[in-house]
Amino acid sequence: MSDIRFDVTGIGNAIVDVIADADDAFLTENGIEKGSMQLVDADRAEVLYGKMGQAIEVSGGSGANTIAGIASLGGACAYLGQVKNDQLGTVFAHDIKALGVTFPTSLKDTGAPTARCLIMVTPDAQRSMNTFLGASASFGTEQIDEACVSDAKITYLEGYLFDSPAAKEAYYKAAGIAHAAGRKVALTLSDGFCVDRHRADFRKLVKEEVDILFANEAEILSLYETDVFDDALQAVKEECAFVALTRSEAGSVIAADGQIHVIDAAAVDKVVDTTGAGDLYAAGVLFGIVTERSPAECGQLGSLAAAEAISHYGPRPLVSLKELASAQGLL
């Protein structure tokens, strides 16, 4: 059995976020579904970018944001995701390495440019995302660094990548390596529409390979094709050992070993941009798991990290989550 070098290895898209304010009329005029993630091609990305206001660029990607959050809490992490060797790819690689995260994926010299996510933030702090996958879509089995998976307590998979058949195959490869090494596999469902597109595949993966599952309300309802939250909760807790379901300002529900815990959201003075809320919630929970905390404590860490993420523009923490959590007596 290999040595444990990492608390969590994340696998997912490798994206730079382009964030600008927009009003609701902008979303309507441009056919953007508020609060969701839409995949766009290069042409649509260019048209939307042309219409957006002045923006900031920050590294993003759901799984990568989660890994950034775990690193900020003091965890040892690796991340696997594909960028091109261009300016935005260099930014992505720099930022994740600057957090002390191992990032073994080589930057590609050819092919599509680095992925970007055009994010419009409406005055209600909701984010609507338009993702041009670019180089990220070329992720496949060959990008799975076996040692990074076998040497991590948990391998964390981002559901968004399920839109790519090659990535789906890579996920099964990673899950096989993790379980063969006696490790755990975690998954986030990422987006309700993504679950709609790949429901059967997600159900199969959850049943067969997932030890720890993250989902928001829309995603878990979609997965079990129900309108009743409790029905989905009762169903999923039979299929997965550890489930964390987020409900925005209503907090979250964790089902661990069949026991259910209802967790409060943490207070936020002013919600600025909800980008990264779910990603950072997962960071707190995963850090709690690898440090062997109780499910309720895991949930509190998740709430704390999510609250930090939504108090500013951009999906990744701006302060040390380790210090923040320590100050609140959670570490």
C-alpha to C-alpha distance for 206 and 185, rounded to whole angstroms: 10
Q: How many CA atoms lie within 13 A of 116 on its CB side?
A: 25
Among residues 31, 50, 123, 258, the one that binds a copy of itself under rule CB under 8 A: 50
Q: Does 88 bind a copy of itself (CB under 8 A)?
A: yes
Q: Does 54 bind a copy of itself (CB under 8 A)?
A: yes
Q: What is the DSSP letter of 106?
A: P
Among residues 95, 191, 209, 219, the one that binds a copy of itself under rule CB under 8 A: 95
Q: Which residue has the tokens 């309300």?
A: 217
Q: Does 67 bind a copy of itself (CB under 8 A)?
A: no
C-alpha to C-alpha distance for 64 and 76, rounded to whole angstroms: 13
Nearer to a copy of itself, 16 or 244 (CB): 16
With beta carbons less than 8 A apart as the criterion, state whether 16 and 60 touch: yes
Residue 53 Cβ vs a copy of itself, minimum distance, rounded to whole Å? 5
Q: Does 99 bind a copy of itself (CB under 8 A)?
A: yes
Residue 127 Cβ vs a copy of itself, minimum distance, rounded to whole Å? 16
Question: What residues from 19 to 48 belong to the interface with a copy of itself (CB under 8 A)?
Answer: 20
Q: Which residue has the tokens 């599509």?
A: 112
With beta carbons less than 8 A apart as the criterion, state whether 253 and 261 touch: yes
Binding mask 103-132 for a copy of itself (x = CB under 8 A): ----------xx------------------
C-alpha to C-alpha distance for 86 and 289, rounded to whole angstroms: 36
Nearer to a copy of itself, 198 or 316 (CB): 316
DSSP string, 237-301: HHH-SEEEEE-GGG-EEEEETTEEEEEPPPP-S-----TTHHHHHHHHHHHHHHTT--HHHHHHH
Residue 213 Cβ vs a copy of itself, minimum distance, rounded to whole Å? 28
Q: Does 279 bind a copy of itself (CB under 8 A)?
A: no
Q: Does 68 bind a copy of itself (CB under 8 A)?
A: yes
Q: Does 153 bind a copy of itself (CB under 8 A)?
A: no
Interface residues toward a copy of itself, by CB under 8 A? 20, 49-50, 52-59, 68, 86-88, 91, 94-96, 98-99, 113-114, 314, 316
